Amino acid sequence: MKIQRGYIIEFKRVGLTSTILGSLLKLFERSWDGWGWHLAIAWEQAYDGWNILEATEDGVEINYYSSEYLDENTRAYQWLTKVPSRKAMGEFLKSHINKKYDVAIYFWTALAIIIRHYFNHPIPKLLDDRFDCWELSAEFFAEVGEPIQSKYDVIIITDIIKALKGRRGGDIRANR
């Protein structure tokens, strides 16, 4: 299977913050392999790599990643049944590019995990115009007509990875 526009890209967990938070999440989600932490969307193929739409501390932006980097540090998943049109992707980009990063989501995610674990109940997501990478990915799929989870629940990477189970596109190198 070849990687296409609209694939979800899971980046390997690196850095102190993701290691600590990922390790804590693993305590509650034991079936999760804990490999990745950051999610993004394959936006457009470029020479020897991909332009990827992602939410970073700088906000929602498109960044280039070489095929070599992607081969070594990511997993690719196909969620959508068809590649979104350029028009749909352009509209999504126009309404989301340069939106601020959602720092508060770390608090809400921690609270959601605790409440879900102890009370078996999801907590609602605050509807705002800030995004972390998980929220951006989930919103993209909802806006192109194939939601990955309810947009009203706090989005947790483990929920997305569970939904994607069995949809791996293989390694990026094999998908060029």
Are 60 and 99 a contacting pair, CB within 8 Å? yes
d(C-alpha 3, C-alpha 169), whole Å: 7
Mean of the per-residue pLDDT values of the chain:
84
Residue 173's pLDDT band (boundaries 50, 70, 90)? very low
Beta strands 49-56 and 74-77, pairing class = unpaired
Are 26 and 71 a contacting pair, CB within 8 Å? no
Residue range 110-132, pLDDT digits in tens:
777 777 777 776 766 665 666 88
Secondary structure, 3-state, 60-87: EEEEEEEHHHHHHHEEEECCCCCCCCHH
Residue range 50-68, pLDDT digits in tens:
999 999 989 999 999 999 9
Residue-level pLDDT at 116 = 75
Residue-level pLDDT at 2 = 61
Can you list the domains of the chain with their CATH numbers?
A: 8-175 (3.90.1720)
Q: Is the pLDDT of residue 15 over 80?
A: yes
Q: Is the pLDDT of residue 27 over 80?
A: yes
Question: Taking residues 133-151, what's their average pLDDT?
Answer: 90
